Structure 1
Amino acid sequence: MLPDLDPVVVHHLVNTLGWRDLRPMQHAAITPVRGGLDTLLLAPTAGGKTEAALFPLLSRMSEQRWTGTSVLYLAPLKALLNNLQPRVEQYAGWLGRRAAVWHGDVSTSRRRAVLFERPDILLTTPESLESMLVSTKVDHRLFFAGLHAVVVDEVHAFAGDDRGWHLLAVLERLTRVAGRPLQRIGLSATVGNPGELLTWLQGSGAGGRPAEVVAPDAVEVADRPPPGDIELDYVGSLANAATVIAGLHAGEKRLVFCESRQTVEELGQLLREKGVTTFLSHASLSADERRRAEQAFSEARDCVIVSTSTLELGIDVGDLDRVIQIDAPATVASFLQRLGRTGRRPGSNRNCLFLALDGEALAEAAALLLLWSRGWVEPVTAPPEPRHIVAQQVLALCLQEHRIGDQLWAQAWNGLHPFEESGRPIVRHLIEHGYLDQDSGMLFIGPAAEERFGRRHFMEMTAVFTGPPEFTVLLGRNELGRVDPSLLTEKVRGERRLLLGGRSWRVTYIDWRRRRCFVEPADGGGRARWSGGGWAYLSFELIRAVREVLLGTDPPVRLTRRAVERLARERAEKLHLVHPGGTLIVREGEGDLRWWTWAGFRANATLTATLSEVVDPVERFDDCSIRLREDLTPQAWRKLTADANDRLCLPEIDEKALGGLKFSAALPERLAAATLAARLASLDRAAVVLSEPTRFVST
């Protein structure tokens, strides 16, 4: 039975879309969304979340006669917005309303049209939204005067990093511009803490505005398929992975996820050499290259697309048959997103084939599947102490308003912590170092901000991440993508060749000043490399699950004979490093004393800082263990750790690491270091480890 929506919307649901009814989550969303509640809509990938938000919003738009740009639809990726635009335009058109997209790839003429016609629904990113607020070409008070609601797609992808803090701060400023509270609707895949995520999305309205989590489709975690749909295999090398992929599932569409851009490139080349129709997608390919690959893949049949997490979110690449995972993603949530790309056809099941390249990756994949089988998903938490985002926001506010009162600036964020009075030391630093000028009780942009962030109309100000410097690769006038500079500076014999887009290219000319290199096709021999990315801190829960696997627990999925044999070997090799009842300090040979905590990177960083007297000063720690001084005795250890839980401290931060924190230059160095230290630490997990018994073992 179709629900109580605007009659025109109901008519088109039946006659245009051919729907007999809505899904349970879409039904459940109507009352809170139409009622103006802040809402979190939780459903697996392809669960109809966009429609669950837009159908009642369009009904409300018609009923209350909203005018001008009244709904913002925010997403983390421009490609996702492009993908959604035709659907949203169709739905808006049912009621004689309009939708438009605005982001960095939209032409100047199309932007002028958006400003002139003011669409009812604007699809954009938080960064582009802020660029509208600070632009001298946009009358933001007029443009956003009719704004009532904001939809945040893939909200979990924002909340876990600094883009989330940036999003919240921009929404608070936008609330003041619109002159009314804005309804906030988040769309999310399954997360471990939906209530907390919705409270986070409410920002300054948390506790004061009614809110509701809608998740009837997520009762069974991410709609898990039967265990038989998941298979874990060990292949030993990327070349072997290519052989397996080329030999399996002929005639089907396969999406292969890799954990680094370099692996995507190398696997893409290997598959093409085997005659497999292959497309690639990753962040260092140009937008045009990615778009062409994704379109060609969606229209093809017997083919493979190899991708990093760029295709993890809800971009539609057609009707997939298979998902294949090289090694393992860093989180269960990421796996759920990828798994949800399959099983969309009636009668088909969600599926994923894991291909592990080594024993360590095999154990990590097994551990991740163990957590998944238990219904555990990581909670999404905002990174602590976003002081650098406070600095960025104060500067952006000065650009937006031209000048602000030196006692009134904190009002712009409606009391949202930490964008209020607690940020005053940061504002004082900005003034003292010339990022802000002060005159007659007013603050405005200073010369240091102009010099540091003023290029291209302060475009650098709207992005909260610092990316490594890369060279643009051009074939004639066509941009192929970007590569790491080291590929252009290292010594090579003969021709310098690059691997990009799964193809080899010969470098013909390098424009060092403009950071561009020109190429032409080559027969082979290209190399791919990027600094940064492709690696994430593994959590306490995942590493503890690895320990369970090494102690003999198998996930309830299908393991190939190769996986069983390699896992048995991995267990035999590491059996002396694991114990179910506590941690081990293992001395191997004459030296190399190592504490096997199985606690994850952040907990080990915290323990290393807390017990610095006995930690090896050179080779220190990783996800699983901490290297200790060779002369440590059990007696000294017991004495040192007796009160360690009472003196847990934050990790030390290398000065070089501050460069990776964008806008850290606009902070006092001690505050920048404190921000990074808080983000590297895990005090509660470190305390768990210290509370466990520890045994000394010699091998």
Structure 2
Amino acid sequence: MSPSTCDTAVSVDAPQELHPSLVHHIVNTLEWPSLRPLQRDAVAPLLAGEDAVLLAPTAGGKTEAAVFPLLTAMERDRWEGLSVLYLCPLKALLNNVLPRLQTYTSWLGRSAAVWHGDVTESARRRVRTTPPDVLLTTPESLEGMLVSTNTDHHRLFAGLRAVVVDEVHSFAADDRGWHLLAVLERLHRLAGAPLQRVGLSATVGNPAELLTWLQGSGRDARPGRVVAPDIALPRPVPNHDEPPPGDIELDYVGSTQNAATVIAALHRGEKRLVFCDSRTVVEELGAALRAKGVTTFLSHASLPLDDRRRAEAAFAEARDCVIVATSTLELGIDVGDLDRVIQIDAPASVASFLQRLGRTGRRGDTVRNCLFLTRSHGALLSAAGLMHLWGQHFVEPVQPPPEPRHIAAQQLLALSLQENTVGRALWPEAWNGLAPFDTSAQPILRHLEDEGFLERDGEMLFLGPAAERRYGRRNFMDLTAVFTAPPQFTALWGRTEVGRTDPLLLIEQVQGPRVLLLGGRSWEVTWIDWSRRRCQVQPTDLPGKAHWHTYSLGGASFALTRATREILLGAEPPVRLTQRATSHLAKAREEYATTVHSGASVIARTGTDVVWWTWGGFAANATLAASLSALADERQRFTDTHLRLRADLTPDMWRAGTADAGERLCLPQVDERAVSGLKFSDALPVRLAEATLAQRLANLDGAQLLLREPQVFNIEAG
């Protein structure tokens, strides 16, 4: 199948093990004088069949580092049919990578295709009848193929040999990662052999642990290595070396409108990518920039896909413009050469900041840069704390969510749908002994049988009527995705979709016309179809409103909140501060002066409340509030920074109540809204659903550290 060996016109610094046709095109088509260090170093382990995690900054050539050796192995070992999967977390990222992979496979007479929710049925039929050598898809689409009656999954995946997981850290950090691992184990069974697993990632705090996680059931049986020659591996414990390179500036602007004024005035003639951590802020900032005459594009998940694609394409080709986006553009989607990254307030982690910073500095004449525009003292402190961690080379470890019992329930149902019937004693074999999809899921299996989600005929299990009722709509689409999207209404101008909005905006009382803000433009609502979740709109010059409800289990991390505390105690982030930022940071330190103390936490009276200023993050404070129930205020409303204690607390009561508290820590109480927001929770016993969420809300290690820390008391009645 492969073309004849080609002579290269120019020598290239590439390992001789790569297929000669690839080397020829690297030199003469791509015109690369050499491979990058990551691309060279990945060749030997991947050709040897090892699992790997390949680390490099954004735009570091990770795709080629994985694909070139695997294409070489494909030719060397005569792989036939669908032999390589390329998995991404976002459809837009798949669309972005597809042209490159189609080019690379064509050099060897091979093929690549994509499969996701927007792919037409005719294109899917082509994949089924004439499988490509490389298929780009998402785990959810893979699950859809496995449970579909239209796809012969035994035939399609019989020759599968390797899987590349792009942005693997984004999978591992939430339930999509557990779903990914479970699907890979089922593919292992269909292929009849373990799959080589290659993860691609930017900087993470624990790459070796990430590799072990990715290996799944093969973690103790298959060789694997981390390949990261382009970057110094991060340290999960901060150090005080020289800060990493980058042109970072921290400013205080006080409002979204002021942020728009600064962006409109600065860096004219340049291409700027602005990150906001909510869709509402994207809309408000986009509208404000357009009002100031700035060429502005928007990108977030509630805008129509075609609109986002057009915006990203126009932005990639334009100059002197701004694109305002949520984290949808944090991953490796190509939007061309950027001049500036601007961050409104602060992202939640150093890892996220590094992804965003990596969007700049790709041209030889530029450096990586980021301008923080903070709108409140809290945001200023968070940004300063984040930069304090960054300056110490700290990157958060990727931690898969614990106890994914609901994913085990989903997998039991999906396997039954995939195979029609499953042996009651044989089902654990489908996941090759990988927990929690092993025999430890027996209580979940019993619940599924008891509630009619699964039925039994002798020793065979099959899908029951309760599962048909709950998940059977739209060919079981609700069963293939492990995340829950909140209900939204589609806004239509005629027949054109302009976006999706939170239903709250359609039911709240308003004076005058009801006006939405979508795509950075105002739309007056003219009609609402409640049964079909649609509304008709028309353009208007009236100011609109944007809102999307999100429910989150937690807030800031232990590391970030403690770093913010260090800022309050006088630590200086290793970045430039504007005069405004310097002035407001001084005001914030004065504002919070009574809440921090060097070497101890503060317990102080504020009005009638007694507050423990732990500065320990949301999860640690949730754990403490549950564990110190005799000392905590029963009207508890803990935050990232503090929790309330009983109003009559004395130092003696505190010492007696906390003497052995570190040995009897409790899991936090779970809000019933959180249980209802856990997808597939109805396929779990209530106690297991609550236990799953409580485990995820807790930070036992952080709580113990805070209990061991000395406390200073300032609780005398005023």
TM-score, normalization: structure 1?
A: 0.98
SS in 1 for 2:538: strand
Deviations 1:556-598 (Å, cap 9, x if unpaired)? 1100000000000000111111012111101123x11100001
Does 2:636 match 1:579? no
Please list, as runs of the form range in 1=range in 2, the aligned pairs for 1:629-648 lying within 5 A after superposition.
629-648=646-665
Give the corresponding residue for 1:72: 85
Contact 2:277 2:327 in 1 (8 A): yes
Contact 1:225 1:351 in 2 (8 A): no
SS in 1 for 2:315: helix
Give the corresponding residue for 1:305: 323
Q: In structure 2, how many angstroms separate the alpha carbons of the residues matched to 1:33 and 1:551?
A: 48
Give the corresponding residue for 1:606: 623
- Equivalent residue for 1:211, pick from 221, 224, 235: 224
Q: In structure 2, how many angstroms separate the alpha carbons of the residues matched to 1:105 and 1:374?
A: 43
Distance 1:185 1:644, change over 3 A: same
SS in 2 for 1:612: coil
- Equivalent residue for 1:105, pick from 118, 121, 128: 118
Q: In structure 2, how many angstroms separate the alpha carbons of the residues matched to 1:345 and 1:517?
A: 45
Contact 1:71 1:151 in 2 (8 A): yes
Letter in 2 for 1:388: H
SS in 1 for 2:314: helix
Q: How far does residue 511 in structure 1 lie from its aligned partner after superposition?
A: 1.0
Letter in 2 for 1:433: E
SS in 1 for 2:72: helix
Q: In structure 2, how many angstroms separate the alpha carbons of the residues matched to 1:385 and 1:523?
A: 50
Name whichever of 75-84 and 619-628 sits farther off.
619-628
Q: In structure 2, how many angstroms separate the alpha carbons of the residues matched to 1:121 and 1:524?
A: 50
Give the corresponding residue for 1:2: 14
- Equivalent residue for 2:711, pick from 663, 684, 694: 694
SS in 2 for 1:86: helix
Q: How far does residue 524 in structure 1 lie from its aligned partner after superposition?
A: 2.8
Contact 1:227 1:557 in 2 (8 A): no
Q: In structure 2, how many angstroms separate the alpha carbons of the residues matched to 1:80 and 1:31?
A: 27
Matched residue count:
697
Contact 1:602 1:682 in 2 (8 A): yes
SS in 1 for 2:42: helix
Does 2:342 match 1:324? yes
Distance 1:276 1:531, change over 3 A: same
Letter in 1 for 2:565: R
SS in 2 for 1:394: helix
Distance 1:560 1:552, change over 3 A: same
Letter in 1 for 2:191: A
Q: How far does residue 225 in structure 1 lie from its aligned partner after superposition?
A: 8.8
Give the corresponding residue for 1:463: 481
Give the corresponding residue for 1:195: 208
Letter in 2 for 1:2: A
Contact 1:225 1:350 in 2 (8 A): no
SS in 1 for 2:592: helix
Q: How far does residue 620 in structure 1 lie from its aligned partner after superposition?
A: 2.4
Give the corresponding residue for 1:394: 412
Q: In structure 2, how many angstroms separate the alpha carbons of the residues matched to 1:535 and 1:604?
A: 13
Q: In structure 2, how many angstroms separate the alpha carbons of the residues matched to 1:126 and 1:220?
A: 28
Q: How far does residue 220 in structure 1 lie from its aligned partner after superposition?
A: 6.5
Give the corresponding residue for 1:25: 38
Q: In structure 1, how many angstroms separate the alpha carbons of the residues matched to 2:405 and 2:308?
A: 34
Q: In structure 1, how many angstroms separate the alpha carbons of the residues matched to 2:579 and 2:609?
A: 34
Give the corresponding residue for 1:680: 697
Does 2:151 match 1:138? yes
Q: In structure 2, how many angstroms separate the alpha carbons of the residues matched to 1:500 and 1:651?
A: 38
Contact 1:259 1:534 in 2 (8 A): no
Q: How far does residue 655 in structure 1 lie from its aligned partner after superposition?
A: 2.3
Please list, as runs of the form range in 1=range in 2, the aligned pairs for 1:268-417 lying within 5 A after superposition.
268-417=286-435
Structure 1: 5+ residue stretches without partners: none
Q: How far does residue 2 in structure 1 lie from its aligned partner after superposition?
A: 2.1
- Equivalent residue for 2:97, pick from 84, 90, 114: 84
- Equivalent residue for 1:14, pick from 1, 13, 27: 27
| % identical aligned pairs | 66
Give the corresponding residue for 1:51: 64
Please list, as runs of the form range in 1=range in 2, the aligned pairs for 1:400-439 lying within 5 A after superposition.
400-439=418-457
Q: In structure 2, how many angstroms separate the alpha carbons of the residues matched to 1:581 and 1:51?
A: 49
Deviations 1:381-400 (Å, cap 9, x if unpaired)? 11000000000000000000
- Equivalent residue for 2:637, pick from 620, 626, 642: 620
Letter in 2 for 1:125: T
- Equivalent residue for 1:515, pick from 516, 530, 533: 533
Give the corresponding residue for 1:163: 176
Q: How far does residue 654 in structure 1 lie from its aligned partner after superposition?
A: 2.3
Give the corresponding residue for 1:243: 261
Contact 1:161 1:383 in 2 (8 A): yes
Q: In structure 2, how many angstroms separate the alpha carbons of the residues matched to 1:508 and 1:535?
A: 36
Contact 1:608 1:620 in 2 (8 A): no
Contact 1:225 1:349 in 2 (8 A): no
- Equivalent residue for 2:683, pick from 652, 657, 666: 666
Contact 1:503 1:524 in 2 (8 A): no
SS in 2 for 1:613: coil
Q: How far does residue 375 in structure 1 lie from its aligned partner after superposition?
A: 0.4
Does 2:188 match 1:175? yes
Give the corresponding residue for 2:54: 41
Q: In structure 1, how many angstroms separate the alpha carbons of the residues matched to 2:217 and 2:374?
A: 45
Give the corresponding residue for 2:136: 123
Please list, as runs of the form range in 1=range in 2, the aligned pairs for 1:467-486 lying within 5 A after superposition.
467-486=485-504
Letter in 2 for 1:525: P
Q: How far does residue 474 in structure 1 lie from its aligned partner after superposition?
A: 1.4
SS in 1 for 2:34: coil
Q: In structure 1, how many angstroms separate the alpha carbons of the residues matched to 2:243 and 2:711?
A: 40
Name whichever of 514-523 and 395-404 sits farther off.
514-523
Q: How far does residue 115 in structure 1 lie from its aligned partner after superposition?
A: 1.2
Distance 1:299 1:533, change over 3 A: farther
Structure 2: 5+ residue stretches without partners: 1-12, 236-241
State the superposition RMSD in angstroms: 1.3
Letter in 2 for 1:389: I
Q: In structure 1, how many angstroms separate the alpha carbons of the residues matched to 2:217 and 2:498?
A: 43
Give the corresponding residue for 2:666: 649
Letter in 2 for 1:57: L
Q: How far does residue 111 in structure 1 lie from its aligned partner after superposition?
A: 0.8
Q: How far does residue 226 in structure 1 lie from its aligned partner after superposition?
A: 6.4
Q: In structure 2, how many angstroms separate the alpha carbons of the residues matched to 1:77 and 1:478?
A: 24
Contact 2:172 2:398 in 1 (8 A): yes
Letter in 1 for 2:180: L
Q: In structure 1, how many angstroms separate the alpha carbons of the residues matched to 2:249 and 2:572?
A: 12
Q: How far does residue 614 in structure 1 lie from its aligned partner after superposition?
A: 2.0
Q: In structure 2, how many angstroms separate the alpha carbons of the residues matched to 1:105 and 1:225?
A: 43
Q: How far does residue 228 in structure 1 lie from its aligned partner after superposition?
A: 6.2
Q: How far does residue 227 in structure 1 lie from its aligned partner after superposition?
A: 5.5
Give the corresponding residue for 1:264: 282
Distance 1:315 1:533, change over 3 A: farther
Contact 2:605 2:714 in 1 (8 A): yes
Letter in 1 for 2:91: K
Q: How far does residue 481 in structure 1 lie from its aligned partner after superposition?
A: 1.8
Give the corresponding residue for 2:239: none
Letter in 2 for 1:650: L
Letter in 2 for 1:451: R
SS in 1 for 2:199: strand
TM-score, normalization: structure 2?
A: 0.96
SS in 1 for 2:630: helix
Q: In structure 1, how many angstroms separate the alpha carbons of the residues matched to 2:206 and 2:598?
A: 28
SS in 1 for 2:633: coil
